[in-house]
Amino acid sequence: MQQTRRPVSPGHEPAVLAELLGASKQFGHGLAAVQAVQGLDLEVRSGELLAVLGPNGAGKSTAIGMLTGLAAPTSGRARLFGCDPRDVRARRRMGVMLQASGVPETLRVRELLTEFRGYYPAPLPMAQVVRAAGLDGLESRMFGELSGGQQRRVLFGIALAGDPELLVFDEPTTGLDVEARRGLWATLRDLARSGRGVVLTTHYLEEADALADRIVVIDRGIVIAQGRPAEIKARVPGRRVRAQTSVSLVVASQWPGVVRASREGPWLELLAGSAEPILRALLDLDPLVSEVTVTEPSLEEAFLALTSDMEAAR
């Protein structure tokens, strides 16, 4: 069904830092059981930026939880530097930024960074952590006195503090303004370029596209696509075309790039990679076409298209 893409030169394959092997996670028991993630395969190599993309509730945080040893998989395996993710030796090589972490408000920024730097054998010098996380001048402030954006930066600094080989970020840009987001992207790229492995979760296709070397798309706990950003984008419909037309569903489904077609009375709706070929074909076949609109489908719809795509292929 899916194939993992690996670099072609087998002798110089970057090391696998962390992986999930057929990992499933179920919360609760019996009738109340919720299958959060099912049979997830995931791997991160050094020097690689992997984006785990999916809508809210897709199981992204559960996947991160298993990868970092917060939650043991119900079945399958999680490996961190070849060890159990709960192994302290493995954790000394990883830095993590979780989605919501209520940091004690009465500790100062410097104290928080010192605390986490102390856990690691060769931490990043304090000045470098402060600079990389953009915390200059805030070192003596208590966490509770910081703004939301500044607090996120402290959490980012905590992830960097140990100078780890693997960095895991759960939705790092949520709640950041556009400028801060761009800044963080640049830092994340630098981190991957320096030879570290970086995993991040996001529900923005744009973000995954701009940053990642590889994207894994998950929805309702299963991988629905993975590959390089260009490959993923080619499969995700970029445009929704809606029009009143007499063109039949069967004909329209055959047009280039059409992922999904549906009809509702006089309305024909198409999801496709781009709008132009569709519009050309539409005007050619039906000069009387009216009420044409072109919009961008939501990520949810894009994921749905991918899902039905996969189901059709089964």
Partner 1 sequence: MITPTAIRRTADAGTQRSNPAKIYVTEARHEFLKLIRIPIFAVSTIALPVMFYVLFGLAFGGGEDGGVGEDGGVGVTTYMMATYGTFGVIGAALFGFGVSVALERGQGWMRLKRVSPMPPQAYFVAKVVMAVTVSAMIIGALFILGATLGGVRMPAAQWISLGLVLLLGALPFAAMGLAFGYLVGPNSAPAMLNLFYLPMAFASGLWIPIHQLPAFVQGIAPALPPYHFAQLALGTVGAAEGGSQALHAVVLLTFTALFLAVAAWGFRRDEGRTYG
Positions that interact with partner 1 (CB under 8 A): 27, 34, 36, 57, 61-62, 65, 68-72, 88, 91-92, 94, 96, 98-104, 106-107, 111, 114-116, 118-122, 124-125, 128, 131-134, 142, 153, 155-156, 158, 160, 162-163, 168, 179-180, 183-184, 186-187, 189-191, 194-196
Q: Least distance (Å) from partner 1 to the CB of residue 169?
A: 12
Q: How many CA atoms lie within 13 A of 156 on its CB side?
A: 29
Would you say 131 or 280 has its CB closer to partner 1? 131
Alpha carbons 264 and 282: distance in angstroms, whole number: 17
Would you say 34 or 283 has its CB closer to partner 1? 34
Would you say 173 or 226 has its CB closer to partner 1? 173
Q: Least distance (Å) from partner 1 to the CB of residue 99?
A: 7
Alpha carbons 119 and 107: distance in angstroms, whole number: 17
* Burial letters 202-237, b for 16+ CB under 10 A, else e: bbbbebbbebbebbbbbbbbbbbbbbebeebbebbb
Which helix (H) or strand (E) covers residue 295, if one does? strand 290-295
Q: Least distance (Å) from partner 1 to the CB of residue 26?
A: 9
Would you say 110 or 263 has its CB closer to partner 1? 110
Instruction: Classify residue 302 by its DSSP letter.
Output: H
Would you say 113 or 305 has its CB closer to partner 1? 113
- Centre a 10 Å sphere on the Cβ of residue 122 and count the other Cβ atoms it contains: 9
Q: Per this entry, what is the length of the chain?
A: 314
Alpha carbons 108 and 122: distance in angstroms, whole number: 22
Q: Least distance (Å) from partner 1 to the CB of residue 101?
A: 4
With a CB cutoff of 8 Å and minimum separation 6, the contacts of 251 are 285
Alpha carbons 241 and 269: distance in angstroms, whole number: 6
Contacts 24+ apart (CB under 8 A), 170-173: 170/60, 170/61, 170/64, 170/96, 170/97, 170/98, 170/99, 170/200, 170/201, 171/60, 171/61, 171/99, 171/200, 171/201, 171/202, 171/203, 172/97, 172/200, 173/202, 173/204, 173/207
Beta pairing class for 239-244 and 16-27: unpaired
Would you say 13 or 115 has its CB closer to partner 1? 115
Q: Least distance (Å) from partner 1 to the CB of residue 253?
A: 37
Q: Least distance (Å) from partner 1 to the CB of residue 12?
A: 19
Would you say 160 or 268 has its CB closer to partner 1? 160
Would you say 189 or 228 has its CB closer to partner 1? 189
